[in-house]
A and B are shown apart, each in its own frame.
Chain A
């Protein structure tokens, strides 16, 4: 079809679409017209055609069929993407329809616009790259696109149908992703290759006439802010908007870590209360959860840092399980990555042997280059090769033919396969990509190495390409000692300049600005990672000096390309000069070249990027910021530093192949090697700075290298560097921080040990530097220790382990320990809370066990804690000392001595005069021992509970708390070794009051702790020292408390009582075991005791033991009391009376019946007990119901002629008097003289008695004499007599009452 007829057809179709009545016709016409337009777009005169046609298309935007408008959008999209040059005129359609009433149309226009947007952006960048300028139409398109962007941003914020807004939000997300540099693709290997947007902001790094990367980034920030605003204003939006915003922010956070922290805080701050009414809250919350889980999946270091926080939040959301699962997955991923790296290294290690074999035979240079370079080096090449593979193999088809004939090795088979795929061209590219991604890195490396045979033979010149900061190239080649890697340095830094393709170059600058180690590919070796990553790992692992010859070769290769075209570039960006386009055009067809067109697959690009990155990391250039800071310093600083770092690693890394291997090759291959940097003498300060820098880099590298790789090397490096930096605070702080942060994995500990041992070794070996090394050592050790204390929880064992395993502990370490455990000068701080003390003490324990040399020092600290004024510290320390340390034989004696000293010092505390007095006492007692002298006054006044003995000598200088403080340890030891108690007993008497109180407080605890095994105690009891009765009693009390005293104890105490100590008090606790026969002899002694003690004794007696029953019944007790004869037993009558009263007080025990029984027994005794009548009177007072019983008793007494017992007689009469009128009958039984006497005494009785006797029934039975006495016979006479008697005897009655 000719173009003109096409045009006409399209015009008529568009007219139909505009005007036809049938919707279906309109739509199909429109689509057909689109097809024609696209087909004819390749025509030369298309622009004319477009000018004619497009206005009709634009007209369609006002069609009132939404379907037409929707289709129009699709058409515009298709046309714009195909013929962008002509489509600016169509863009208004897009903008208009963004605001279409039909949300479907609006939605479509956003989608279409987004696609066009991406495409324009990409074209803009590429056009400039290819042609060095940007055409006007493209600029125009871009200005439309900016309008589009603004319009869509508005849509996101406006209240509209939700559908378009969702897309607008998505568009904002895309904008952010497009405009923000993806400055760390390593962490997201899985995501980057999938990224649909081919455009990369980094393409603009060389400057762009239209696109300004700074401006774009600020655009991105604006979009990002809109998203954040949307989240903040969630209350005004439907739920699904909020969900979308959360999702978009999460995506941004994961892919552009620059924004991660703000995303995270925005999401964390998101307030569920803000959610609008109608929104589905659980879903919004779940979207947050999903976002956090997504972050958790990321292995990017920035995100990894917040893992703890994320976990916490997720747990709070009840998503702990899910979070844990994700963590497991991620950890597994990282482990797999490490394993792959290990495997790769292992297989690499096998190679050198064959390598050496080959080397021994003379070979031509080509061979050396191709197969003989060690795999370490060849990996490096491999990457480039794999990238260039297509081109190269195409060139070298012939090489594949040969091995096909013979038996093929796997490598050759692979090469053949790759070749075959390449031969298929475009079609094979995809398969090739898959194939390469599946190949094991080692195999891939071998393939490349094998294929290197076909590299051009003649090593081209190394032209002088200077690095931005690399003047060293200008220095002489001389210095044969110059390590090769310095050369490598220079070369490899140049490599990307020439070797990398299209988008790679700008990366160099960007990458090198950051610490390369942070980007270690290992981290990124996700399951989705491609083989190229593995290669890179290998490369890094083998990143050793000595890459020289292959490096030279490779770089030489690239140098053959013509010098880059002079494209505008700043001095800083020297490395970005080469433009891909230029390269493609200018390269020699024979050479290996890279071009965008030829390497379309992302895979290769990726590989390239990795390569470059690793080279940079290997070179170990200092961060730019450092360079800037150190502008004054020599520019070669970095290289020398690298040198140092490497040479240090030389010493330790046994994987290293010897340098000598490389040297001949070096000479052979590159005779005309240019310029190596000269050796630069550095000033002290520079050296220091460089060391510092080196340390910093190594430490940073930890963040990336999770596995054990280089662990040893890094440790060795660090330890040496630390030794060299002297005691620089910054450095030590830095290392400390690192160590502590890593401590959990135990790697920190290893590192510290490494450093410490190194320093120690230095100190031992080098006496001249002794002081400074020792200083560093001390500072380092203490710094780390303090850090550990500050950072790690108190139950962490790291601190104790550190001190236990350190080679040597300086004085200050002891002080630190002392501070932790028992210094009280910083009580205000809460650092020294209980846990800390516990930690300190725990450390002490392990140190005492593990460091015999310093044992005494640690023990001293522990012991000092054991007498610490603070209760909790002391009790903890005592537990440690008594339970754990005291059992250790070698130190138990020391502990004992210490405790004893403390005890003695407490006892003798008032050193001044009190002590003297005590000593004087001791002396006097030694000379004149008299047990009674001490026990008598002592015991009588002692209150056993409080021990308030009359301690006149107790000095107030010893507070109870202080006494407690000094004694606690000793008593704790006593539990372990009861025989120590002897000392307490011995010293008890001399102890001041406060100490005694302390002892009294401790003893019960001690005795209870000792339990039944108190053999030693028995021994002490059997022979108590002078003055310890009080204590003894207390001990006895506690021992017998609640249990039946053991037979041993009883025997011991009895013997003691019988032989030495005539104090019945000590018997009280064991009284319950006594039989009646045993109690009765000592009963007077018991009565003699102070009343309260007697009461206790009484209780024991009445209680008895479980199997024997009470020794005495209450009645027997009463009888026993009454049996006591003051004269014979030497008990004051008063005591006996008190005892009686004590019995009467216990009315529940000494009941009416008991009294009756006892009295009944006693009345039959001859002689009657002295206090009998008194008791009778008390009994009748207490129990009036006993009156009849008492009357019988009185009758009995009458029959016993009670009047013959003067003391009783008085009582008898009193009783009669008190019990009238019941007693009249008894009274009348008295013989008349006695009756008369009685009536004389109690005159008041006479009247009632006479009345009573006068009753006829009674009067008849009375003898005459009685009647006479009553005056019933001869009354007046009798009355007189009576009066006389009552006057004669007033004293007597008083006396009776008194008794």
Chain B
């Protein structure tokens, strides 16, 4: 059975979508989510972010921002990002509401805060299936460049995961080796569905 992956960041825009895009292109079964209460995109200033509800189509955001200030949003990479996103899926989805999407085998988060939310959320769900889920946090800064790096490394981890049969036995090694090779802090935990 194909392994199912989830990639999660805060707004399901940049980091998770970058990873989603890449993993999808590589043929993985992947979904992406955000854990925030809203989808937030940078605005004209730090104090005026563009806030959308989860579920608002990327296309709609794209149009909205293009109407507001095409120059600004092109320059800061938001419009290109949205364009990429709308090619991947319709709208940002919220992790906490992903119950119907079924169970994942591996969940990648890109920020400790997000990791905490995901773990807590899994803890609060009904755990009857006893299906283990590996949750991995890969600390990735929320900018386009880092997101690209993060996505590539996520892909590496996914490929390694695919290569092993009984992940429970080797997960410590895999994580440690990955940390050494990529000089990146990784934390994992195990939860259940």
Contacts and interface: CB of A to CB of B under 8 A. Distances in A.
A247 B188 CA distance: 12
Nearest to A169: B190
B3 to A, nearest CB: 14
A77 to B, nearest CB: 11
B99 to A, nearest CB: 11
A209 interface: no
Contact of A167 (B123, B132, B173): B132
B102 to A, nearest CB: 17
A162 B192 contact: no
A238 interface: yes
Interface in A522-581: none
A280 B189 CA distance: 10
Contacts of B129: 111
Contacts of B126: 194-196
A111 B191 contact: no
A166 B188 CA distance: 15
Interface in B137-193: 137, 166, 168-169, 171-173, 175-176, 185-192
A238 B169 contact: yes
A279 B130 contact: no
A1095 to B, nearest CB: 72
Contacts of B190: 166, 240, 243-244, 247
Contacts of B56: none
B5 to A, nearest CB: 18
Contacts of B131: 111
A114 interface: yes
A322 B187 CA distance: 16
Contact of B130 (A170, A251, A325): A170
A6 interface: no
B173 A161 contact: no
B175 A283 contact: yes
Given A167-B130, A322-B113, A161 B187 contact: no
A167 B176 CA distance: 23
B105 to A, nearest CB: 12
Contacts of A294: 120, 123
A114 B192 CA distance: 14
B116 A290 contact: yes
Given A111-B130, A167-B132, A194-B126, A280 B166 contact: no
Contact of A190 (B124, B176, B189, B192): B124
B88 interface: no
Contacts of A280: 171-172, 175-176, 186, 188
Given A194-B124, A196-B127, A240-B190, A293 B116 contact: yes
B119 interface: yes
A167 B128 CA distance: 12
Given A280-B188, A322-B113, A322-B116, A196 B124 contact: no
Contact of A286 (B120, B166, B189): B189
B154 to A, nearest CB: 17
Contacts of B112: 322
A196 B128 contact: yes
A199 to B, nearest CB: 13
Given A111-B130, A114-B130, A282 B187 contact: yes
Contacts of A170: 127, 130, 192
A251 B189 CA distance: 14
B189 A287 contact: yes
Given A280-B175, A283-B187, A161 B192 contact: no
B83 interface: no
A111 B125 CA distance: 17
Contact of A161 (B124, B130, B166): B166
A283 B189 contact: yes
Contacts of A920: none
Tier of interface size on chain B: 20 to 34
A279 B189 contact: no
Contact of A163 (B125, B169, B175): B169
Contact of B168 (A111, A166, A195, A282): A166
A239 B171 contact: yes
Given A244-B190, A282-B185, A239 B172 contact: yes
A896 to B, nearest CB: 59
Nearest to A171: B130
B90 to A, nearest CB: 26
Residue among A162, A283, A297, A325 with max Cβ neighbours from chain B (10 Å): A283
A283 B120 contact: no
Interface string A96-121: 00000001100000110011000000
B32 to A, nearest CB: 22
B116 A240 contact: no
Nearest to B168: A162
A240 B130 contact: no
B188 A161 contact: no
A286 B124 contact: no
A828 interface: no
A239 B173 CA distance: 10
A1141 B175 CA distance: 90
A844 B27 CA distance: 77
A650 to B, nearest CB: 43
A163 B166 contact: yes
B171 A163 contact: no
Contacts of A104: 166
B171 A240 contact: yes
B134 to A, nearest CB: 8
Contacts of A278: 172-173, 176
A729 interface: no
A968 to B, nearest CB: 57
A557 B49 CA distance: 59
A318 to B, nearest CB: 10
B171 A161 contact: no
A1145 interface: no
A191 interface: yes
A243 B189 contact: yes
Interface string A288-321: 0010011001000000000000000000000000
Contacts of B123: 247, 251, 294
B189 A162 contact: no
Contacts of B128: 115, 196
Contacts of A325: 113
A110 B130 contact: yes
A162 B166 contact: yes
Contact of B120 (A114, A163, A287, A297): A297
B190 to A, nearest CB: 5
B7 to A, nearest CB: 19
Residue among B112, B168, B171, B189 with max Cβ neighbours from chain A (10 Å): B168
A110 B187 CA distance: 27
Interface in A320-335: 322, 325
A191 B128 CA distance: 14
A163 B166 CA distance: 7
A523 B132 CA distance: 32
Nearest to B178: A280
A239 B189 CA distance: 10
Contact of A247 (B113, B130, B187, B189): B189
A279 B192 CA distance: 20
Contacts of A282: 185-187
Given A251-B123, A322-B112, 20 more contacts: A111-B130, A161-B166, A162-B169, A170-B127, A194-B125, A194-B126, A196-B126, A240-B168, A240-B188, A243-B188, A243-B190, A280-B171, A282-B186, A283-B175, A290-B116, A290-B119, A297-B120, A322-B113, A322-B116, A325-B113
23 contacts: A103-B166, A161-B169, A162-B168, A163-B168, A163-B169, A166-B190, A167-B130, A167-B132, A170-B192, A194-B125, A196-B128, A238-B172, A240-B172, A247-B191, A278-B176, A280-B171, A280-B172, A283-B172, A283-B187, A283-B188, A290-B116, A297-B120, A322-B116
Interface of B: 112-113, 116, 119-120, 123-132, 137, 166, 168-169, 171-173, 175-176, 185-192
Name the 7 nearest CB pairs between A and B, nearest first.
A162-B168, A196-B128, A239-B172, A286-B187, A163-B168, A111-B130, A196-B126
